Structure 1
Amino acid sequence: MTSPPRLDPPQHGPEAEILLGFLDFHRRTLQLKTDGLDAEQLNRTLAPSSMTLGGLLKHLAYVEDNWFSVVLLGNDDAEPWRDVDWGADRDWEWHSAALDDPEELRALHAAAVEASERIVAGVLADDGLDRLSVRRSRSTDEPFSLRWILVHMIEEYCRHNGHADLIRESIDGAVGE
């Protein structure tokens, strides 16, 4: 699977387009950081962390599904998340990625991104960035706006893309965007 091209976010325009442009840019950055790697490379760690690029792909697939489908729309968990015993392993997606084929990991992430993009397009068309989530924050019992979720997702990808930079460089020396 080859990653779609990565485009720079727009420098001006409507708020939603700028937010989605940055989120897409960082989604594609993660995909670029994992392109061309085999299972052994996707499962390599950089001491002292146990984080892997395969784990990042699976974790961010889960995060996509959770924030847009579960939190925003109120849906139940989809597969493969539905039957996970999260009480037994809070980091299941990170740990189980080592058992997955690289193309399955890439496809899982790509499918999660596509589903999120459809959800966001529908919500923007109906309610815009101010749409509130069905599910509420565990700490404040307040709903999240779509705007907040998009900013959070940008933050999530940015943070993990920093991890991906270091891990990828340790694998084959690839650096940069």
Structure 2
Amino acid sequence: MDYTDIPIQECLQGPEAAMLLFALDRVHRQFAWKSGGLDARQLYAKHPPSGVSIAGTLVHLAKVEEMWTASAAGREPGPPARGDRPWESYDAEWTDALDASPQELYELWYGTIARCRAEWAGLVADGGLDVACTDDPGWVVSRRRRLVDILEENLLHTGQTSIIREAIDGLVGNDPP
């Protein structure tokens, strides 16, 4: 599956939601480009002093996307796209990814992103971004905040991945061709 095969859907709410979802779609496409087409050695490469690898980032971003989308939807997190173990087993995703093949890592990320993107389109259509969501007792945020949190996390790690990818094979730029 190629992320570019997933169409950017028209949002049913005003320009703010459409722009936030467009921004998230764009950073997903950037991350897919920066992380895509690598073999296991390249995915697991670390570039000191950081211990971050693209493999760990694929798992981390899938986990964050599912957890925060579930929060916005008022549901428990669903199973990972790679369903042979629960999300909780990814608590050390930066190192736990070491037992996954490139295909498994890409399936996990792409599958999670596709499910969450479709769910966000539904959330925007059903109540919008002002709906409150509760993660922990006493901690209440809006769907808007959750969407911004997801966007921010993706932006941070796409930047890291861009630097790692440039070190691997010289790929540079902001948007896929």
- TM-score, normalised on structure 2? 0.83
Aligned to 1:20: 21
Q: Distance in 2 between matches of 1:124 and 1:14?
A: 11
The residue matched to 2:38 in structure 1 has which SS?
coil
Q: Distance in 1 between matches of 2:128 and 2:110?
A: 24
Aligned to 1:84: 88
Aligned to 1:161: 158
Check 1:64–1:6 CA distance in 2 against 1; reply closer, same or farther (3 A cut): same
| TM-superposed deviation, 1:60 | 0.3
Paired residue type of 2:170 = G
Q: Distance in 2 between matches of 1:40 and 1:127?
A: 45
Aligned to 2:30: 29
The residue matched to 2:141 in structure 1 has which SS?
strand
Aligned to 1:131: 131
Question: How many residues matched?
Answer: 166
Q: Distance in 2 between matches of 1:38 and 1:122?
A: 35
Show the 5 A alignment for 1:100-119.
100-119=100-119
Q: Distance in 2 between matches of 1:84 and 1:123?
A: 25
Match of 2:143 among 129, 146, 165: 146
Unaligned 5+ segments in structure 1 are none
Check 1:175–1:5 CA distance in 2 against 1; reply closer, same or farther (3 A cut): farther
Q: 1:30·1:161 contact (CA, 8 Å) conserved in 2?
A: yes
Percent of pairs identical after alignment?
34
Residues 82-126 of structure 1: CA distance to partner in whole angstroms, max 9, x if unpaired? 36357xxx42x2211121111111111111111111221221111
Coordinate RMSD, CA, aligned: 2.4
Check 1:70–1:82 CA distance in 2 against 1; reply closer, same or farther (3 A cut): farther
Check 1:49–1:142 CA distance in 2 against 1; reply closer, same or farther (3 A cut): same
Is the aligned partner of 1:40 residue 2:72? Answer: no
Paired residue type of 1:148 = R
| TM-superposed deviation, 1:163 | 0.5
Residues 41-71 of structure 1: CA distance to partner in whole angstroms, max 9, x if unpaired? 0000110111001111110000011001246
Q: 1:65·1:112 contact (CA, 8 Å) conserved in 2?
A: yes
Aligned to 2:122: 122
**RCO comparison, higher one (Cα < 8 Å, 6+):** 2
Residues 122-149 of structure 1: CA distance to partner in whole angstroms, max 9, x if unpaired? 211110011111x3356xx232211111
Paired residue type of 1:41 = Q
Q: 1:58·1:97 contact (CA, 8 Å) conserved in 2?
A: yes
